[in-house]
Amino acid sequence: MALADVPLRDLLAAFSSPDPTPGGGSASALASAVGASLLMMVAGLPKTRSGSDAERAALAAASAALGGIRSRLTAAIDADAGAYDQVVAAYKLPKGTPEEQAARKPAIQQALRAATEVPLDVMRLSAAAIEHAKTVAANGHRAAASDVGVAAALLGAGLRGAALNIDINIGSVADEPYVARVKAESARLSQDAARIAGETDALLRG
């Protein structure tokens, strides 16, 4: 059964078990998925900041986009666990002969890149959701400001957690141009998200 489909208590038990998966990467995706869900809740409230049609239109557009983001983040909960399992399996491949060693090395590299791409996508999705958080903060009902703030905090945590997972995996990837591209994108996403989160917080306090 997919992690996203298990009861909450069982999911929490899975996170606390000695098994390495689900781990921090899955938790990051989950945090961001919850953040996106909270934003959708606020966007769907009957009251907006001033009740204007423009606000309702902006919130409806944000909610529609966030629905797609949440679906992809939900899928990443399992994808991250699966990517880690692939890395473990690759490292367990036999290496007793030159032929086995020649097959094992590219398998490990391929698995490490997959384990990098999943959290990188979580970063992208979290950053996109944070942009929508600004829209929800600007147009949503003021009484729900704390919900938007919690959503932004969860999305920030999910993005940061995904960045930490990238840092762990990218250190063993041999493709230097790929490593440079990933590091640059991770840094850009982190910086942009932090800036927009600050702007969102200002709207919530305004």
- Residue 71 is given by DSSP the state H
pLDDT in tens, 103-140: 999 999 999 999 999 999 999 999 999 999 999 999 99
Tell me the average pLDDT of the chain.
96
Q: Distance (Å, rounded) from C-alpha 57 to C-alpha 118?
A: 32
Residue 206 confidence (pLDDT) = 78
Per-residue pLDDT, averaged over 145-151, amounts to: 97
Residue 133 covered by a domain: yes
Per-residue pLDDT, averaged over 43-52, amounts to: 96
pLDDT in tens, 6-41: 999 999 999 999 999 999 999 999 999 999 999 999
CATH number of the domain bearing residue 88? 1.20.120.680
Residue 139 covered by a domain: yes
Q: Total structural domains in the chain?
A: 1
pLDDT in tens, 63-78: 999 999 999 999 999 9
pLDDT in tens, 163-173: 999 999 999 99
Residue 13 covered by a domain: no
* pLDDT exceeds cutoff 90 at 147: yes
CA-based R_g, the chain, Å: 19
Residue 48 covered by a domain: yes
Residue 185 covered by a domain: yes
Residue 115 confidence (pLDDT) = 96
Question: In which band, very low, low, confident or very high, does the pLDDT at 1 lie, cut at 50, 70 and 90?
Answer: confident
Residue range of the domain that includes 107: 22-205
Let me know: does 121 contact 72? Beta carbons within 8 Å. yes
The contacts found for 54-63 with CB under 8 angstroms, 24 or more apart, are: 54/139, 55/139, 55/140, 58/135, 58/138, 58/139, 59/135, 59/136, 59/139, 59/140, 61/135, 62/132, 62/135, 62/136, 62/139, 63/39
**Can you tell me whether residue 17 is helix, strand or coil?**
coil
Residue 107 covered by a domain: yes
Residue 129 covered by a domain: yes
User: In angstroms, how far is the first alpha carbon of the chain from the final one?
Assistant: 45
* pLDDT exceeds cutoff 90 at 81: yes
Q: Is the pTM of this model over 0.75?
A: yes
